Amino acid sequence: MSTLSGPDLSHAKVIGIGAEAKLYRTKWRGRDVVVKQRVRKIYRHKDIDDKLRQGRTKGEARLLALARLAGVRTPIIYDIDVQSCTIIMELMEGEPLVKVLEALRSDGRKKLLYNVGQEVAKLHRADLIHGDLTGANMLVFGNTVQFVDFGLGVQSVEVEDKGVDLHVLQEALKAGNMEDLFKEVEKGYVKQWPGGKDVVARVKVISTRGRYN
Amino acid sequence: MLCLGIEGTAHSVGAAVVTDEKGRAKVISNVIEMYRPQDGGIHPREAANHHAERVVPVIQQAITEAKVDPSELDLIAFSQGPGLGPCLRTVATAARALSVKLEVPIIGVNHCIAHLEIGRATTGARDPVLLYVSGGNTQVITFFEKRYRVLGETMDIGLGNLLDKFGREFGLPFPAGPTLEKKAASGSKLLELPYSVKGMDVSFSGILTAAEQLIKKGASMEDVCFSLQEVTFAMLTEVTERAMAYTKKSEVLLGGGVAQNGRLKKMVDDMARERGGRSFVPDGRLLQDNGAMIAWTGIIMHRSGVRMAVKETIINQRYRTDEVEVVWR
C-alpha cells in the first residue's frame, strides 16, 4: 500500500502525538506495525519544511538500521516513504523501562540498569547517539532492553555528545528518585566498552556545570 | 502598592511606576531610553556611562508622568541580572540610593523572569511557555517542577545579536530588526542557510557567516533578509513547540525586543493554533527591556514575603533563571 502519498492511515489508530510526528498503529501487509509520520508544519516555509521532514525521516531510518547492526535491538524497518515522511516499522513488544523499574526491587533494578548501560555502550561504541534516552524510549522485553524513537538521534564521534546522551538518562533516573542507581548504568557501560571510560568521566563534568557555561 | 522599577541590563535604561489593582498589573508610567552607539556594537562601559547620565532623568520622568510624589512609593525594584556588569551596577546603585533615601524596601529582580511575569499579568496567559528573544538572550522558559526553567536556549549568540551584527556589516541602523523586517517583506526567494536545532537548543553563529557570504556572492539584500527570518524564526518556533509538547502546555508567550517582529508573531501563532493552543504577545513597550516588568515582578515577590537587605542586592551578571526560588506561584 506504500504509494507516493504514503500509506493509507485512515483506519489507523493514533497512539502518540509528538512535537513533530504522529505515531499510528495499524496493519500493513498482514503485520502489526507502527507508522511514524512527520507532519507538515504550516508555520514554516514549505521548502524548509519539506527538506527538514524528509531529511529527518531518512536520518532516523538510517540510525535505526545502524543500531541493529551495532547489536542493539530496535524496531525493524519495513518501509520508508520519503515523500510523505513516513516510516513503517515493527510494533515492539515490551514495557517502558520506567514502568518496569518502578515494579522492581533494588536487586532487579540494579541488574536491569547494568544491562541498560551495556546496550547504550553498544550504540556509543558505534558512534550512534540516541538523543532522548528517557524512560519511555527504552522498552524491556524479557531480558532484552530495546530502543525506540531515534527522532533526536545523530551520528557523532564526540565524547561530549555521548556524555550528554548518558546525562539525559541520569536526569531521567533522578526524576524517578533513582539517581544513586546511575552508577549501575556506568558499570555496565564500561564493562561493555572499556574505551567508554572518558565518556563516563565527562558525564560528571556535564552534570556539575548545568546551563549558562 | 506603588512600585518604582528600574531596568538596565544592556543597551536600554528604563524606569516605570506600577501598581497592583485587585491583583492585576497597572502600568502608570513606563519610560525607556536606548543607548545607540555611533558605530560598532555595544561597549558595556559606554552603555553604563549612558545609563549613569540618563538614569536620574529617566526616573524623574517616570515619577512625573505617573503624577506621584516620590514619598508615595512603597517599593523600589531593579534588574539584578543577568546582563552587562557595568550597566547592572549603575542601575543597582541608583536603586539602593533611592531605597535608603526614601526608606522603602528594595528588591532585586531576575530580568528573564520579569519578561514572563509581565506577560502573564497583562495578556491573560496563565501558565505559558515563554519564547524570549532579544539581543543578548534567546531562551525558552517555563514554570516546571516548582521553578522557572530554561528548557532550550541558544548555544552561541542571541538572535538579536545575529541580526545586529549582520545589519552592522551591511549598513542597517541599530537595532537592525525593524529595517530587516521591512526588507524581508519585499524578498521572496528562499536561500540556503544552515538550520541548526539540537533537541530544544538552537545555534546561530553559522547562519551569520552564511548570510554574509550570500550577500558577497551577489544575492539581493531583500532575499537574504527574507531567508534569515524564515530560517531563524522556524528554528525558534520548532524548539518552542518541543517545549510545549514536553511540558504538556498549550499557551505560548512572546518576550524580548525581537518578538516585535510580525513574521515571528505569525509563525508562533500558527504553531500554537495548530496544536489547539493560544499565543500571547504583550504590548510593544512591555516586550522590549522595560522598568514596568521589573516593578511588577518586584510587587509580586514582595507580596509573597520576599525581602532583601541592601547587602543582598549585589548584582549577578550570570543570574540563572532557575536560581530564583519562585515563592509566588
- pLDDT tens figures, B194-222: 999 988 889 998 999 999 999 999 999 99
Residues 57 through 116 of chain B touching chain A, CB cutoff 8 Å: 82
**In a shared domain, residues B302 and B272:** no
Set of chain B residues whose Cβ sits within 8 Å of the Cβ of A174: none
Q: Which of B10, B7, B48, B47 is nearest to B31 (CA)?
A: B7
B156 touches chain A (CB under 8 A): no
**In a shared domain, residues B256 and B295:** no
CA max distance for chain A: 52
pLDDT, residue A3, reads 45
Residue B121 maps to a domain: no
% pLDDT > 90, chain B: 92
What is the spatial distance between Cα B47 and Cα B87, in angstroms, rounded to a whole number? 7
**In a shared domain, residues B180 and B227:** yes
A179 touches chain B (CB under 8 A): no
Question: CA distances (Å), B154 to each of B132, B198, B220, in order?
Answer: 11, 10, 28
**In a shared domain, residues B257 and B297:** no
Strand-strand pairing, B24-34 and B129-133: unpaired
As to burial, measured by CB atoms within 10 angstroms (0-12 exposed, 13-18 middle, 19+ buried), residue A13 is: exposed
CB-nearest to A211 from B246, B266, B320 is B320
What is the spatial distance between Cα A25 and Cα A14, in angstroms, rounded to a whole number? 6
Catalytically annotated residue among A132, A149, A161, A165:
A132
Q: Which amino acid is at A30?
A: G
Q: In sequence order, what are the residues at sequence separation of 6 or more whose Cβ sits closer than 8 angstroms to the Cβ of residue A55?
A: none
User: Where residue B265 sits, what CATH number does that domain have?
Assistant: 3.30.420.40
Residue B247 maps to a domain: yes
**In a shared domain, residues B273 and B197:** yes
**In a shared domain, residues B9 and B93:** yes
ipTM of the complex: 0.89
Q: In sequence order, what are the residues at sequence separation of 6 or more whose Cβ sits closer than 8 angstroms to the Cβ of residue A121?
A: A188, A189, A190, A191, A192, A193, A196
Count of pairs with CB atoms under 8 A, one residue in A, one in B = 49
**Residue A132 distance to chain B (closest CA, Å):** 8
A209 touches chain B (CB under 8 A): no
**In a shared domain, residues B61 and B41:** yes
**In a shared domain, residues B82 and B57:** yes
List the strands of the sheet with B12-21, edge to edge. B24-34, B12-21, B2-7, B75-81, B106-110
pLDDT band at A178 (very low <50, low <70, confident <90, very high): very high
What CA dihedral angle connects B281, B285, B286 and B290, to 10 degrees?
A: 150
Residue B329 maps to a domain: no
For residue A161, indicate whether it is catalytic: no
**In a shared domain, residues B276 and B296:** no
Give the start-end residues of each E strand in B192-250: 197-198, 201-202
**In a shared domain, residues B80 and B207:** no
What is the spatial distance between Cα A188 and Cα B280, in angstroms, rounded to a whole number? 48
Q: Which domain holds residue B166?
A: 127-282
B192 touches chain A (CB under 8 A): no
Residue B153 maps to a domain: yes
Set of chain B residues whose Cβ sits within 8 Å of the Cβ of A18: 245
pLDDT band at A175 (very low <50, low <70, confident <90, very high): confident
Report pLDDT digits (tens) over B150-173. 999 998 999 999 999 999 999 999
Q: Is the peptide bond before B175 cis (omega within 30 degrees of 0)?
A: yes
- Which structural domains are found in chain A, ordered by start? 13-90 (3.30.200.20), 95-209 (1.10.510.10)
Report pLDDT digits (tens) over A76-129. 999 999 999 999 999 999 999 999 999 999 999 999 999 999 999 999 999 999
% pLDDT > 90, chain A: 82
pLDDT, residue A37, reads 96
B195 touches chain A (CB under 8 A): yes
B144 touches chain A (CB under 8 A): no
Q: Which helix (H) or strand (E) holds B316?
A: none
Provide the whole-model pTM.
0.90
Locate cell 552564511: which residue? B210
Residue B208 maps to a domain: yes
**Residue A173 distance to chain B (closest CA, Å):** 15
pLDDT band at A174 (very low <50, low <70, confident <90, very high): confident
The number of folded domains in chain B is: 2
**Residue A18 distance to chain B (closest CA, Å):** 7
**Residue A30 distance to chain B (closest CA, Å):** 33
Say if residues B190 and B220 touch (Cβ distance below 8 Å): no
Residue B328 maps to a domain: no
Set of chain A residues whose Cβ sits within 8 Å of the Cβ of B195: 48, 52
Q: Is A6's pLDDT higher than 90?
A: no
Q: Average pLDDT of A161-188?
A: 93
pLDDT band at A210 (very low <50, low <70, confident <90, very high): low
Residue B120 maps to a domain: no
**In a shared domain, residues B29 and B132:** no
Q: Average pLDDT of B305-321?
A: 95
B328 touches chain A (CB under 8 A): no
**In a shared domain, residues B78 and B37:** yes
**Residue A101 distance to chain B (closest CA, Å):** 22
B241 touches chain A (CB under 8 A): yes
Q: Which amino acid is at B181?
A: E
What is the spatial distance between Cα A212 and Cα B204, in angstroms, rounded to a whole number? 16
Q: Is the peptide bond before A7 cis (omega within 30 degrees of 0)?
A: no
Q: Flag if A131 and B274 touch (Cβ within 8 Å).
A: no
Of A2-16, A129-143, B251-265, which one has max mean pLDDT?
A: B251-265
Q: How many CA atoms lie within 13 A of A167 on its CB side?
A: 17
CA max distance for chain B: 62
CB-nearest to B320 from A41, A52, A212 is A212
HEC-encoded secondary structure of B124-160:
CCCCCEEEEECCCCEEEEEEECCEEEEEEEECCCCHH
Residue B190 maps to a domain: yes
What is the spatial distance between Cα B99 and Cα B2, in angstroms, rounded to a whole number? 13
